[in-house]
Amino acid sequence: MTTSDHSPVLGLGYVGLDVRDLSAWIAFATAVLGLQPAESPADTAYFKMDHYVWRLALHLADAEGPAYFGWEVRTEHDLYALEKRIADAGKPTARDAALARERRVLYLFSTADPAGNRLEFYVGPQTESPEPFLSPTGASFVTGDQGMGHLTFEVNPYRETVEFYRDVLGFTTSDITSIGASEVIFLGCNRRHHSIGLLGGPDFPATALHHVMVETTNIDHVGRAYDTALDGHAQVVQSLGRHWNDHMTSFYVKSPSGITFEYGWGGRTIDRQQWSIEQGNGATSIWGHRPIGAVGLGDSVGAAMVHRH
């Protein structure tokens, strides 16, 4: 595969998380993220963010953490060609028809990236078009050919994981930034500036999901969610800000299981065939995204929350 080839991956399709407190999570997903609860079996909560029957799944579990990441592929031919590429790269793959039915997709196979994240590649998601998506907060989301958003991981091993996404999955690099002794690479497979960010370096000895980003269609959706979080419904961990690379205006909020969500608007799209790799200067944001809580700002936010109540 040359760098001019398209990745067979369409985009990030779904995310599954194991959670201990399902009711707290449902409150967060609806009131802060503005996701629509979907039909769900016991001990599971599915959420919609567009015409797909679900995009986020929460599974009641004894331990918190990411369970799986679904990547949508364009065609059956691409799916099975990708399965062969991954197997040829030495990674075990497994087809599972029962799991495909559970995930409400046509065909699916699973594997793991070198950092140990469970990945599921699929075609044929169930959709409800033209059934409208109805957000409990009035939000709407940028999905379609950009996928449901992006993921950022702290990974170990770093190089091997980068090579898996770039050289096996066919993602291309948008940009790379060094932050101290660490590096972060942003990779994409569609018009979204990046579908995955990978951070590596001596400060990241273990793999962890850093954040999940979802993008709204209106800055007011971000502002209202920011207000809702500051009103005491969730902990804002980074203030409103704008990223230098994808131009996303966003804030970061902690979910009940501790996994951070980036809630954004206005991310730029790029033409991957015309794009040339850029290098950042170490600052991830043009303005804002100040850590809250760890550097004393938490006190003023806490005071504001007390004031509001």
| Residues at the contact surface with Fe ion, assessed by CB under 5 A | 213, 262
Q: Which is nearer to Fe ion, 8 or 200 (CB)?
A: 200
CB of 243 to Fe ion, least distance (A): 7
- The residues that bridge with 121 in the sheet, in sequence order, are 71, 109
- Residue whose Cβ sits closest to Fe ion: 213
Q: Which is nearer to Fe ion, 154 or 262 (CB)?
A: 262
CB of 150 to Fe ion, least distance (A): 6
Q: Which is nearer to Fe ion, 83 or 262 (CB)?
A: 262
Residue 145 CB partners (closer than 8 Å, separation 6+): 10, 11, 190, 191
Instruction: Judge residue 193's burial from the number of C-beta atoms within 10 Å of its C-beta, 0-12 exposed, 13-18 middle, 19 or more buried.
Output: buried
CB of 246 to Fe ion, least distance (A): 7
* E strand spans, the chain: 9-19, 36-38, 44-48, 56-60, 65-73, 94-95, 107-112, 118-123, 150-154, 172-179, 182-188, 196-200, 208-216, 235-243, 249-254, 260-265, 278-279, 285-288
CB of 278 to Fe ion, least distance (A): 16
Residue 213 CB partners (closer than 8 Å, separation 6+): 149, 150, 151, 152, 248, 250, 261, 262, 263, 264
Q: Are 239 and 290 in contact (CB under 8 A)?
A: yes
Q: Which is nearer to Fe ion, 189 or 213 (CB)?
A: 213
The two structure tokens encoding residue 151: 């993921």
CB of 304 to Fe ion, least distance (A): 25
Q: Are 146 and 187 in contact (CB under 8 A)?
A: no
CB of 211 to Fe ion, least distance (A): 6
Total residue length of the chain: 309
CB of 251 to Fe ion, least distance (A): 11
CB of 152 to Fe ion, least distance (A): 5
Q: Which is nearer to Fe ion, 79 or 213 (CB)?
A: 213
Q: Which is nearer to Fe ion, 109 or 263 (CB)?
A: 263
Q: Which is nearer to Fe ion, 26 or 236 (CB)?
A: 236
Q: Give the type of residue at 160.
A: E
Q: Which is nearer to Fe ion, 34 or 149 (CB)?
A: 149
Residue 295 CB partners (closer than 8 Å, separation 6+): none
Instruction: Judge residue 276's burial from the number of C-beta atoms within 10 Å of its C-beta, 0-12 exposed, 13-18 middle, 19 or more buried.
Output: exposed
The two structure tokens encoding residue 21: 């407190």
